[in-house]
Amino acid sequence: MSRHPITVRSIDNADDNAVIGFDPPLGTYFLLGFEDPDTEFPGLWLGTRLREFPDLASLTSAADAKGYMLDGLTEPIVAEMAWEAMQPHRPSLVERCGWPLR
């Protein structure tokens, strides 16, 4: 799983410790940011479902629709995530067992 530090901005806040990447078992790009200091859970967490964001464009569109802008998404980061997304991956446990996705 790739994890790259970036900055995520909302209209009234910024998180310099946000993380973007690709999760091979889920087959999705993900974005985490705005961690709550008490619970350590991210306030922004996209890409938690199987193949939710199969490409980077769908993830950035979802972030934009929620009012978030991404800074620091460099060409090398994009290239590394794209390379990882193109690699063959073993099917997830959900896929191997044939469990329904909800």
pLDDT tens digits, 8-51: 999 999 999 999 999 998 899 999 999 998 998 999 999 999 88
pLDDT of residue 96: 79
69 in Cβ contact with 9 (< 8 Å): yes
Determine the 3-state secondary structure of 83 from DSSP. helix
pLDDT tens digits, 49-100: 988 999 999 999 999 999 999 999 999 999 999 999 998 887 777 777 877 6
Residue 57 token pair:
């464009």
